[in-house]
Each structure stands twice: as structure tokens, then as C-alpha cells.
Amino acid sequence: PVEPIREQSRNEVLKQKDKAEHYSQLFIKIKEQLPNAQSYLMTLPDFIKLLLKKEF
């Protein structure tokens, strides 16, 4: 049976866009704090510690 795909409301799309922009700004700030850090060298716990330590 074919299920109709529920269309996302405009609000949902805007919310996702805001969230994406927020995270991209966080990553930019982290990159400024640690210009030499390679993203693939940073483990998730390190990343979380950094987020908690720095007041963004």
C-alpha cells in the first residue's frame, strides 16, 4: 500500500533551518578556538567537553 508522505509544515522547515544554522555557527566558533584541530581527530566526548567548557 502506498502511504501518502505528510508534507512538512513551513514552521517545521524553518525550525530545522534555525537548528542547522545554530550548529554551523557552533562549529565555526570551535574552529576559531582550535584552528589546528582536525575534525576527525576529535571524539564525541572531547567535543561535548569542549562545548561544556566554552561558553558559546
User: Considering its fold, how many domains does the chain have in total?
Assistant: 1
Interval 2-32: pLDDT, tens: 776 667 788 888 898 899 898 888 888 877 7
Query: Which comes out higher in pLDDT, residue 49 or 37?
Result: 49
Task: With respect to residue 4, please indicate whether it lies within any of the assigned structural domains.
Answer: no
Amino acid at 55: E
Range of the domain at 18: 10-53
Indicate yes or no: pTM above 0.85. Answer: no
Task: With respect to residue 42, please indicate whether it lies within any of the assigned structural domains.
Answer: yes
Task: With respect to residue 31, please indicate whether it lies within any of the assigned structural domains.
Answer: yes
Phi-psi region of 9 (alpha: psi -120 to 50; beta: other; left: phi over 0): beta
Task: With respect to residue 27, please indicate whether it lies within any of the assigned structural domains.
Answer: yes
